[in-house]
């Protein structure tokens, strides 16, 4: 049958401002929780990518993070923040993870649910009223890079998007160009 499909509504992602990100990332007192949220935001990771991250995936010499077998079974690299690297060294010294970068109390991968709870607790403690999720950190990463002048093509690579169309959504939420436009009323 050649039936027309109804259009899926295109919803814009929830973006946290840089100030909101700073406030949110300051909330967790537990070093492991702080490192997880910093990692997700600073590298633009999906929550599943953070959970699957292994100790060997951190390349401190080249300031890169390897994301292996991400969505679509593709490998990619992302940025390793110097601020995060300092925190990860402290974290490693205290927790001594064996295989996965973030392990549960009995070893093995850290739980996605636990990360969501950590994020929600930090969001509530920071007083941010937006309906944000852990994935909002990834959206915010991309938007902030775009606002600081990073080329869309590089952002596409860092996020692991196959199509540039997927990455172009961030041009709709960035305030980079919009804040230069003056309302006709003004």
Answer yes or no: 100 catalytic. Answer: no
Answer yes or no: 161 catalytic. Answer: yes
d(CA 139, CA 112): 18
Answer yes or no: 170 catalytic. Answer: yes
Answer yes or no: 131 catalytic. Answer: no
Which two structure tokens, joined as six digits, stand for 165? 């169309």
User: Of the listed 33, 34, 139, 161, which one is catalytic?
Assistant: 161
Beta pairing partners, 58: 65
User: Of the listed 71, 76, 92, 95, which one is catalytic?
Assistant: 71
User: Of the listed 41, 100, 110, 170, which one is catalytic?
Assistant: 170
User: Of the listed 32, 54, 68, 135, which one is catalytic?
Assistant: 135
Answer yes or no: 144 catalytic. Answer: no
d(CA 115, CA 135): 11
What contacts 7, CB < 8 A, 6 or more positions away? Answer: none
d(CA 142, CA 14): 12
Q: DSSP character for 70?
A: -
User: Of the listed 33, 138, 139, 144, which one is catalytic?
Assistant: 138
User: Of the listed 46, 52, 139, 144, which one is catalytic?
Assistant: 46
d(CA 66, CA 58): 7
Answer yes or no: 138 catalytic. Answer: yes
d(CA 115, CA 138): 14
Residues catalogued as catalytic: 46, 71, 135, 138, 161, 170
């Amino acid at each position: 049958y050649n039936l027309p499909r109804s259009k899926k509504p295109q919803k814009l992602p929830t973006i946290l401002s840089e100030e909101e990100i700073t406030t949110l990332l300051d909330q967790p007192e537990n070093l492991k929780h702080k490192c997880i949220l910093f990692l997700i935001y600073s590298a633009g990771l999906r929550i599943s990518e953070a959970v699957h991250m292994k100790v060997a995936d951190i390349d401190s010499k080249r300031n890169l993070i390897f994301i292996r077998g991400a969505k679509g079974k593709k490998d990619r690299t992302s940025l390793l923040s110097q601020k995060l690297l300092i925190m990860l060294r402290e974290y490693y010294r205290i927790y001594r993870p064996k295989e996965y970068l973030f392990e549960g109390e009995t070893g093995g991968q850290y739980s996605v649910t636990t990360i969501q709870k950590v994020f929600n607790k930090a969001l509530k403690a920071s007083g941010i009223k937006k309906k944000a999720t852990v994935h909002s950190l990834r959206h915010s990463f991309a938007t902030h890079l775009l606002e600081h002048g990073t080329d869309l093509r590089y952002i596409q690579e860092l996020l692991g998007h196959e199509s540039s169309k997927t990455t172009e959504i961030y041009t709709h939420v960035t305030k980079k160009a919009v804040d230069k436009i003056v309302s006709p009323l003004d």
